Amino acid sequence: MKIRKNVAVSDSGFLFNPLTGDSFSVNPIGQTIISSFKENKPESEILENILEEYRVDKNTAEKDLNDFKRMLENYKLID
């Protein structure tokens, strides 16, 4: 997964899609996922980073990652 080139992403977790005018704020886990997508990390590595950084079980982390990815796809923020 890769964040679309036209989407602006700030270090504070603010996303802006200039094509639609939509803007979003994400929580710290969302920021980790967005940063990882920008670096073209594989999902398995993103999942491992979430498990190391946050106190969450693997099933919850997988579900949250998949839900977040679907949300980004629905808003056309990732390719």
Closest to 46 measured CA to CA, from 36, 61, 56 = 36
14-70 pLDDT, tens digit per residue, is 999 999 999 999 998 899 899 899 899 999 999 999 999 998 999 999 999 999 999
Does residue 49 sit within a domain? yes
Q: Given this model, what pLDDT does residue 11 score?
A: 86
Domain range for residue 42?
Answer: 8-74
Position 2 scores a pLDDT of 87
pLDDT at 1: 79
Q: Is residue 65 part of a domain?
A: yes
Look at the chain and report how many structural domains it folds into: 1
